Structure 1
């Protein structure tokens, strides 16, 4: 049996152990509440066109109605149901973070680990992260919107770029920590290649904090979309997003308070769900390390 053949069972065992650890996080109270809340909102956003076909832009003469069983969040200035529009708006927020954050996680991790191949390249990426962090997310978003125009793509690019340093620095920290470990030094003495050291020792030890950070980055992405859309640089009307609903709702806050309260409630629920998931994952990781 060759060394390559023995690596396969080891990798499978590592993946199986990691999967069990992450699934165990969702069996804790925080994981159950956060995962259940997120699942409900994702399911509502996914099934919105089926449950409320054509209702997102359905207008009526009943403008600025208060909350009721028929209209839980009331109606807007055109008589449209605010609750239905908020549910449709969830599709934008959720689709943005589940696309942009994983892309940032993969690219940022690779950039953070680039120092294992070339120290100069690793240092260059760290200086790039410093530059990105020097820009507030709103200013960065404005620059990207000016370059490519407002819309979903501009928001996704903004979230991905702004999330890069978070993952890159975590990966860089794991790289510097693991390079000094005795088993890594022993592997180098035995002539083990850089790629194998990276995949067997450094990357597995970097994944736990990176996955926890991914949940936190999704919270930042949700609020970044809202902030840019509020100032008119994100999703453009008539497509509803939580930010665009807030942008219009602020004008009628005294006439129809639920116009702004509805999107804010969903924003907070999304943030709460990801925060609980992040706490559950972090607790599972820390428990494993302590054991």
Structure 2
């Protein structure tokens, strides 16, 4: 009998001598495309700059100089703020705040959404109740939800973290629920039930893998949303509080001095734009890879 040709969906792939599963192989293939390479390179550069900020700028983000609100120069490409602090240095340190929020809140949000979305597999009534909770959360736009959380916890990192976390749960949860509803009556799932395989095993073996592509794509998109939630809340004074820098805090402060020093706003806005482009390119590359 002739052998069935191996396909990416049924066999492992090899990347640079390392054997990986078919799902991981699809994700890795996204970063071989121009969009994926550019997005990953741009994001890697920003992450590296944020991580090495204490080494590159040992004086810290609060180092003050004698000149205030000066324009860009070779030593200070974004100029200085109202206290004579280097805006580029504060922007790079601000990236650390943004990355610490989105790289923790977004994955945790996707995991919680996945778990809650699959609650319908355990109990139809429990699944319906969880969906009503999702509907309530979706009814609150990100900034409005943030305002509610700020009234409880006060402005700062915790309120920002919870806003990004809670806002992303319903989207991931609905994707997981859709995967369960679309797969629960498939023949292989019904056969597994007849054979007495536990529902937990069916979820782990069949349902979760079918939901992962959508969850991963949503996570890459939600990174952009998380960046804008931080910026939006901080601009209106509900996010990080001065003197701690974040891109939103810098934009909030810079708007008051935009006539005197336009680069006070342009510098942080440029980093915000680059961050958005990086995540958008990665999301697009992943989307093409999993749907090709």
Out of 263, 267, 278, which is 2:268 matched to?
263
The aligned counterpart of 1:252 is: 257
TM (norm. structure 1) is: 0.92
1:44-193 equivalence runs, <5 A: 44-193=49-198
Q: Name structure 2 gaps, 5 residues minimum.
A: 1-9, 14-18
Q: Distance in 2 between matches of 1:270 and 1:162?
A: 20
TM (norm. structure 2) is: 0.92
Q: Name structure 1 gaps, 5 residues minimum.
A: 1-9
The aligned counterpart of 1:4 is: none
Higher helix share: 1
Out of 10, 19, 25, which is 1:20 matched to?
25
Q: Distance in 1 between matches of 2:128 and 2:40?
A: 37
**3-state secondary structure, aligned to 2:76:** coil
Q: Distance in 1 between matches of 2:137 and 2:271?
A: 29
Structure 1 residues 179 and 204 mapped into 2: Cα distance closer, same or farther (>3 Å)? same
Superposed CA deviations along residues 108-129 of structure 1, whole A, max 9, x for unmatched, are 0000011001111111111111
Count residues with an aligned counterpart: 278
RMSD over aligned Cα atoms: 1.6
**3-state secondary structure, aligned to 1:66:** coil
1:19: Cα distance to partner?
A: 1.7
Residues 11 and 22, structure 2, Cα contact 8 Å, conserved in 1: no
Q: Distance in 2 between matches of 1:148 and 1:179?
A: 41
Q: Distance in 1 between matches of 2:193 and 2:182?
A: 15
**3-state secondary structure, aligned to 1:98:** helix
1:60: Cα distance to partner?
A: 1.4
